[in-house]
Amino acid sequence: MSNSKRENWGSLRKLPSGRWQARYPGLDGTTYTARTDQDRPLTFLTKTDARTWLAGVQSKMARGLWEPPEEIAARLQAELEIEQAQSLGFEEYSKRWLEMIRTEPNRSGKKRAVGTVRSYKGKVTGYLVPEFRSTPVREIDAARIKVMTDRLDQIPAPPVVQPHQRRLSWFRRSVANSLREW
């Protein structure tokens, strides 16, 4: 006698452990074995539990809510990583971000230039880290950023002196000094 029984939809089989395993056809034509949301094998204590689970999957498919188990697991993992990143303090988050910027390619697949990375690091460590330090990333909102930018806007920018202006200024001083000597 086979340990496998065909159901109205999907199939069940009794494992050597005495637990039940469910399989079902996915919308993409692939046969899936029952898995948890973390993409681990899922078995059932009773045949009724396995049938109930299969009925739930079939219902999700009928309502258009079904996703392949590996996609659910990937989405949940990404959500978990976002949650963990948001609970980090800004300083730690910025270190990780700067390391990612330094080592990973940009959207076009090219590595960022050293000057670009240096510029980002200067802005992050010079302006953002002193402002937010250990503040959890999730607590940094538009209002906090506006307060910081308004405060930074009040600081007068140093005048930008171009090289030709430096030479001209040196020339004027030289001429003025020469005229005083006459």
- Rounded Cα distance between 178 and 182, Å, is 7
Alpha carbon 111 to its chain centroid, in Å, reads 19
SS3 letters across 118-169: HHHHHHHHHHHHHHHCCCEHHHCCHHHHHHHHHHHHCCCCCCCCCHHHHHHH
Residuewise pLDDT in 10s, the chain (182 residues): 456 555 678 999 999 999 999 999 998 889 999 998 888 899 999 999 999 999 999 999 999 999 998 888 889 988 888 888 777 888 988 998 899 999 999 889 999 999 999 989 998 998 889 988 888 888 888 888 888 888 888 888 777 666 666 666 766 677 666 666 55
Residue 120, amino acid = Y
Strands 20-25 and 11-14: antiparallel
Q: Please state the pTM of the whole predicted model.
A: 0.47
Secondary structure class of 108 (helix, strand, coil): coil
